[in-house]
């Protein structure tokens, strides 16, 4: 299936999703759905660097929170800026940070890169916590309007729609990469970086590109967050649950294609939303951790590995 056709189908699916949510007429669906969609974008973004290229990023929180906090800054300085623009800015900032981190650390082996991302996450968190303009450790309040000017829908529905659009973009880009020359290049880095370099693949350049793309998407996923939660503090913005979920979802769904992160995000995201209201949020996180470890040990190819025929990836 060619890419433009695929994106068309994605848009159809998105429209159906929104329509169904509207029909159910329960605002909670939009609140919960936003979180699941956010994880689709996070997981898909993460997977570009993690699954396609083989470099694990533990510092999801940093990119995600960077996106959120750039919105806080914009909200305080240019509050009339439309949210889509803020999202784009958040994405660019996170992308640039991804690039910077990558440049410092991508010359290292994969395991060192993983540790470096964790380190960076804490550094960024410490910087934000000490920055009083965005509220520091006390947090920042962002007032959410009741309705928007567009079609008179509720703001939460507007956020849901934006995240839906981001999901379509993220998945579309991921699939386009997967089947392209770039995707092949990423895969060689994952399989054998030394051989990739010897076969003519500019590995450093590609790794930087993957890091920037991945960081950018994760930043965009975080950008609308302040409007969603209306109160943002570093403890919640940098919560470890983002890092674990962003890793668990692609690993459980399957890292070799765009479908894995989507399955993982929908499955785990929904599971957690249900668990949070029925049992407790801490327990639901425990379940995520257990599933992550379980799948990593027993089903390394993830859920899509159960259905894909044994053999080549195409």
Partner 1 sequence: MSEALLTVSGLGKRFGGFIALADIELEVAKGERLGLIGPNGSGKSTLVNCLCGTLRNDSGSVRFNGRVLDGMKAHERTRLGMARSFQLPRPFGTMTLAENLRIPLLYVVQLRGAVPNIDKRCVELLDLVGLADKAHQLPTDLTQIEMRKLELARAMAAEPNLLIADESMAGLSHQEVDDILALLMRLNEQQGVTIIMIEHIMRAVMHFSQRLVVLVAGRKIADGNPADIVRQEDVVAAYLGS
Partner 2 sequence: MDLPLDLLGNALVSGLLLGGFYAAVTVGVSISFGMLDIVNIAHPAFIILGSYIAYICNSTFGMDPILASILATPAFYLLGMAIYHVYDVSFERRGDSGLRGLAFFFGILFITEVSLVLTFGVDYRLVEATYIGQSLHIGPIDLPFRLLVPFLISLALMGGLHLYMSRTFIGRAIQAVAQDPLALRLMAADPSKIKRIAFGMSIATASIGGAILIIIQPVEPSIGRDYIGRIFAICVMGGLGSFGGALIAAMALGIMESFTSTFFGPSWSPAVSFGFLLLTLAFRPSGLFGRA
Can you give the binding site for partner 2, defined by CB under 8 A?
50, 54, 56, 58, 104-105, 108, 110-112, 114-116, 118-120, 122-123, 125-127, 129-130, 137, 240, 243-244, 247-248, 251, 255, 282-283, 285-286, 288-290, 292-293, 296-297, 300
Taking the complex as a whole, the smallest distance from the CB of residue 119 to partner 1 amounts, in Å, to: 27
Rounded distance, CA 62 to CA 71, Å? 14
Q: Would you say 41 or 120 has its CB closer to partner 2? A: 120
116 is in the binding site of which of partner 2, partner 1, none (Cβ under 5 to 8 A by kind)?
partner 2
192 is in the binding site of which of partner 2, partner 1, none (Cβ under 5 to 8 A by kind)?
partner 1
Question: Which residues bind to partner 1, rule: CB under 8 A?
Answer: 181, 184-185, 187-188, 190-192, 194-204, 256, 311-314
Q: Would you say 116 or 208 has its CB closer to partner 2? A: 116
Taking the complex as a whole, the smallest distance from the CB of residue 202 to partner 1 amounts, in Å, to: 5
Secondary structure of the chain in the HEC alphabet? CCHHHHHHHHHHHHHHHHHHHHHHCCHHHHHHHHHHHHHHHHHHHHHHHHHHCCCCCCCHHHHHHHHHHHHHHHHHHCCCCCHHHHHHHHHHHHHHHHHHHHHHHCCCCHHHHHHHHHHHHHHHHHHHHCCHHHCHHHCEECCCCCECCCCCCEHHHHHHHHHHHHHHHHHHHHHHHHCCHHHHHHHHHHHHHHHHHHCCCCHHHHHHHHHHHHHHHHHHHHCCHHHHHCEECHHHHCCHHHHHHHHHHHHHHCCCCCHHHHHHHHHHHHHHHHHHHHCCHHHHHHHHHHHHHHHHHHCCCHHHHHHCCCCCCC
Q: Would you say 7 or 308 has its CB closer to partner 1? A: 308
311 is in the binding site of which of partner 2, partner 1, none (Cβ under 5 to 8 A by kind)?
partner 1
Rounded distance, CA 137 to CA 132, Å? 8
Q: Would you say 158 or 242 has its CB closer to partner 2? A: 242
167 is in the binding site of which of partner 1, partner 2, none (Cβ under 5 to 8 A by kind)?
none
Rounded distance, CA 56 to CA 261, Å? 14
Q: Would you say 19 or 311 has its CB closer to partner 1? A: 311
Taking the complex as a whole, the smallest distance from the CB of residue 285 to partner 1 amounts, in Å, to: 31
Q: Would you say 101 or 203 has its CB closer to partner 1? A: 203
79 is in the binding site of which of partner 1, partner 2, none (Cβ under 5 to 8 A by kind)?
none
59 is in the binding site of which of partner 2, partner 1, none (Cβ under 5 to 8 A by kind)?
none
Q: Would you say 196 or 288 has its CB closer to partner 2? A: 288
122 is in the binding site of which of partner 1, partner 2, none (Cβ under 5 to 8 A by kind)?
partner 2
Q: What residues contact residue 140 under an 8 Å CB cut-off, 6+ apart?
A: 72, 76, 134, 226, 231, 232, 233
Taking the complex as a whole, the smallest distance from the CB of residue 185 to partner 1 amounts, in Å, to: 7
């Amino acid at each position: 299936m060619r890419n433009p056709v695929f994106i068309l189908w994605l848009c159809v699916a998105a429209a159906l999703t929104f329509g169904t949510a509207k029909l159910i007429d329960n605002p909670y669906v939009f609140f919960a759905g936003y979180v699941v969609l956010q994880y689709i974008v996070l997981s898909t973004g993460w997977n570009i660097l993690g699954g396609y290229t083989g470099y694990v990023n533990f510092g999801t929180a940093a990119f995600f929170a960077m996106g959120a906090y750039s919105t806080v800054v914009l909200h305080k300085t240019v509050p009339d800026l439309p949210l889509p623009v803020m999202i784009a800015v958040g994405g660019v900032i996170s992308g640039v940070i991804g690039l910077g981190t990558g440049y410092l650390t991508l010359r290292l082996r994969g395991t060192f890169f993983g540790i470096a991302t964790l380190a960076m996450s804490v550094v960024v968190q410490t910087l934000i916590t000490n920055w009083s303009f965005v509220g520091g450790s006390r947090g920042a309040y962002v007032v959410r309007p009741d309705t928007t000017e567009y079609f008179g829908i509720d703001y939460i529905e507007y956020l849901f729609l934006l995240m839906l659009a981001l999901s379509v973009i993220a998945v579309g880009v991921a699939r386009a990469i997967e089947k392209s020359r770039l995707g092949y290049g990423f895969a060689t880095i994952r399989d054998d970086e030394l051989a990739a370099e010897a076969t003519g693949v500019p590995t450093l350049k590609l790794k930087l590109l993957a890091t920037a793309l991945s960081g950018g998407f994760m930043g965009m996923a975080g950008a609308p967050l302040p409007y969603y939660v209306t109160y943002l503090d570093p403890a919640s913005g940098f919560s470890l649950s983002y890092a674990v979920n962003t890793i668990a979802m692609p690993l459980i769904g399957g890292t070799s294609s765009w479908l894995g992160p989507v399955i993982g995000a929908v499955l785990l995201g929904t599971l957690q939303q249900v668990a949070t209201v029925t049992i407790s949020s801490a327990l639901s996180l425990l379940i995520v951790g257990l599933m992550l470890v379980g799948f990593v040990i027993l089903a390394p190819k993830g859920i899509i590995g159960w259905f894909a025929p044994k053999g080549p990836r195409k």
